[in-house]
Structures are given as structure tokens and as C-alpha cells.
Amino acid sequence: MNIHVAKNAEDLGGCAAAKIASVLREAIAERGSARLLLSTGASQFETIAALLKEDVDWSKVEAFNLDDYVGMDESHKASFRKYLKDRFTSKVNLKNSFFVDGEGDVDAKIAELTKEMAKAPIDVGVIGIGENAHIAFNDPPADFKTNETYFVVTLDEKCKQQQVREGWFETVADVPSKAITITPNAIMKCRHLISSVPRGVKAEAIYNTLTCKLSPDSPATLLKTHPSWHLYLDAESSAKVFPV
């Protein structure tokens, strides 16, 4: 585990993006291509913006995303397909992009994503941590035992409330109850994990992640068992662990 504390979200994003880019460049140099798993949400704004400025041969990079809501049209502002297309994939010349799509035949979409994911390891997984310490949409208690790659989960109330506070929905009732998400097991198969977690709303989740024992009730504690996990915090999100 490697912990990096920046003074603010912008500096955090720049540091995390530099590490992501370094891993991608190394993979391209070694094998001629790289694979990237990208998180979304408000906490990733600065990291994704900074990543666009990095020197990476994007034509040799394949990108996947973590999750999306079941039944949500891509035009909705909360769609993670829309989020990534607007902020990232439309701005770089990727070799390929694979999106979680919760519309239509969900089982078929999961099977296709699973097939694509299995073709080669993910070099770097960018994994945010939610206010309830979820990773992707694996809310507590997370399923640490499943061997699936993606599956459908039911979102808990704290997760829904976070989505409203971040401005993606007007009310908790508007948040879909189910989502397709990458599983904890699949996350842990990434060669490297990088977590960008800025802002004070994440301080409690970070404290619990770093101080609690491994537990499905605090899903992000699983990240501590990965041999190459890099956690990027700012002064606010780290305040309970590293008080000034």
C-alpha cells in the first residue's frame, strides 16, 4: 500500500494521473498495448482531466469502465457511459472502449463484457472509494467470494444519497435501485490499483478503510490486500487519518 497526500483535489488528480500514465507507458513498452479500467463520479473529475494532459499513446490502450445503472438511457446525466464519453473517450484516440451498458438484455451485456475482460489482464484499475466505502457499486456488505467478473447489485441508501448530493439525481427516489458493476474479485486481478479520493465527504470512508480489518462491511478494505495499491488523498479526505 502506498499513500500519497496532496494539498487539494487538483494536485491529487495530477499526481494520480501521472502514476496512471506511467503504468500505461510501461505496459505499452513491454507488450505493445495496455488496458485501463476507469472509475467515474465526482471524485474522478480532476484525475481524468489531468490524465488527458499526459503523454500516452492512446491508440494502444483499451479502456473499460466499472459500472452503470440498470435500465438507464445513455442520455441521462448520471449515465456513466455518457460521463466517460463526454470527459475522456471522445477526447483521446483509444484502441478500443468497452462500456457497461444496463439497457436491454443485461445478461448478454454482462457476458460480452466478461469475454472481453478475460482476453488480457488489466494493467491499471482506477478505483474510487464511495462515502460508504464501496468500490465500484459493491456496497456493504460486498460479495468478496463471487468469481463473476460483472454482476447486478442492489444499491444501498447511503450510496443513493451520495448520488443525489453529487447532483446526478434530484431525489433518492430517482436513483435506480440496481446497477451492473465489476466485482471485487475482478478488481483485485488488475496489475496495479490507483484510488483517487479527494474531499472531506470521503474522510470517514478513508479512516475506516485504513483502520478497519478486512471486511465486506467496509468493501474498500479489500484494496489493502493488493500488492500494488496506490491511494491518493487530499488534505480534506485524509484529515481523520493524518490530522494537521
- The answer to whether the CB of 5 falls within 8 A of the CB of 226 is no
In a domain, 209, yes or no: no
Sign of the alpha-carbon dihedral angle for 228, 234, 235, 236: negative
Looking at residue 40, its pLDDT comes to: 93
Which pLDDT belongs to residue 243?
A: 80
Residues 84-97: pLDDT tens digits? Answer: 999 999 999 999 99
Q: Give the pLDDT mean for 196-218.
A: 97
Share of the chain above pLDDT 70, in %: 100
What burial class does residue 17 get, using C-beta atoms within 10 Å of its C-beta: 0-12 exposed, 13-18 middle, 19+ buried? buried
Kindly state whether residue 163 falls inside one of the protein's structural domains.
yes
* Residue 34 located in a structural domain: yes
Q: How confident is the model at residue 64 (pLDDT cuts 50, 70, 90)?
A: very high
Cα separation, 133 vs 15, in Å, equals 22
95-134 confidence digits (pLDDT tens): 999 999 999 999 999 999 999 999 999 999 999 999 999 9
Determine the pLDDT at residue 244.
64
Where in the sequence is the domain holding 14, given as residue range(s)? 2-201
Task: Return the CATH number at 73.
Answer: 3.40.50.1360
Q: Is residue 50 assigned to a domain?
A: yes
- The 10s digit of each residue's pLDDT in 29-39 is 999 999 999 99
